[in-house]
Amino acid sequence: MMRAFSYVLLMGSSFFLLYACTKGTNSSSNLQGNWISRSDFDGVARSEAVSFVIGDTAYIGTGNDGTVQLNDLWKYDVDNNYWIQRASLPGDARNSAVGFSTTTKGYITTGFNGLVKVKDTYEFNPVQNTWTRKADFGGSARTDAVGFGIGDKGYVTTGNDGNALKDFWMYDPATDQWTQKVSLGGSKREGAVAFVYKNQGYVTTGINNGQTVNDLWVYDPAADKWAQKRFISNVSTDTYDDSYNVIRSNATAFVMGDNAYVCTGENGSILKTVWEYNFASDLWAEKTGFEGLERTGAVSFTVKGRGFLGTGRNSTYRFDDLKEFFPTQVYNAND
């Protein structure tokens, strides 16, 4: 999913040891939620990777290790808490691509190969552990777009092809065709997040013209229509949004139950804060921050109703950790 780079040198090894060993340093006793470490991602540490879920299995692939683009793919067994490497993407290694899935297949498209932006599309068959090249993405080659799957269709929007974008494309695996749909409303953006709830796709956060955007949109494929939800920053005269600090770019998001979670990312600095979105009320509440180092360019996924976040980078390091979020648990610094 998909990033401006800045680098800061930490001064002194003793400072680093103290900081790295402090779990959830931004966690507050009045925030609810708890993060628990799971098996580290078996691939090399990376950022700007993609993730997708097919059935009850999550996959992470591609990205950048700080030196080169990557094309490997790994699956996570949530029941047994381990990783297995699968067939590598046969196209260009890349970062800042898009991953999405239908009910039976996974897809990777767009991204940056180290020289140019690309738009080739590949389909992953988990049963055969094979990749097949499909029709090129219908829009322009781009980075930092978002994608999501609903039923047997895939959708891609936003990103940057030299300019921020908000065009919207549907992929039909049955015909291997991309069709342009009605564009996302509101701001163009790159580095946004997307998530799906009850067969509708949501897009929010991101950056355009050097500024974070604050709108939230939901797409209904049955009506082929976007609708705007409440803003994600404090812009109303009511009190419900007085504490909102959701806006950011290069974040990641996942859905658990009747809530979505927007996590990490950047907005002036690199973040570890977590915000919960309630679909019924269209309201946000802050949760316990990610209990690891702050990061941007991470990935997340939901499997069997359980939410996970891993990989990413901060101003100094790339990561290979994986943590699971329990939104109703009390924060525990010692688990």
Three-class DSSP labels, 83-97:
EEEECCCCCCCEECC
What does the DSSP 8-state code read for residue 198? T
Can you list the residues of the chain whose pLDDT is less than 70? 1-29
The CA radius of gyration of the chain, in Å to the nearest whole number, is 19
What pLDDT is attached to residue 11? 33
What pLDDT is attached to residue 332? 85
What pLDDT is attached to residue 29? 56
What does the DSSP 8-state code read for residue 107? E
Angle 119-120-126 (CA atoms, 0-180°, nearest 5)? Answer: 130
| Whether pTM exceeds 0.85 | yes
Shortest CA distance to 65 belongs to which of 329, 334, 335, 313? 313
What pLDDT is attached to residue 311? 98
What are the tens digits of pLDDT across the range 229-277?
999 999 999 999 999 999 999 999 999 999 999 999 999 999 999 999 9
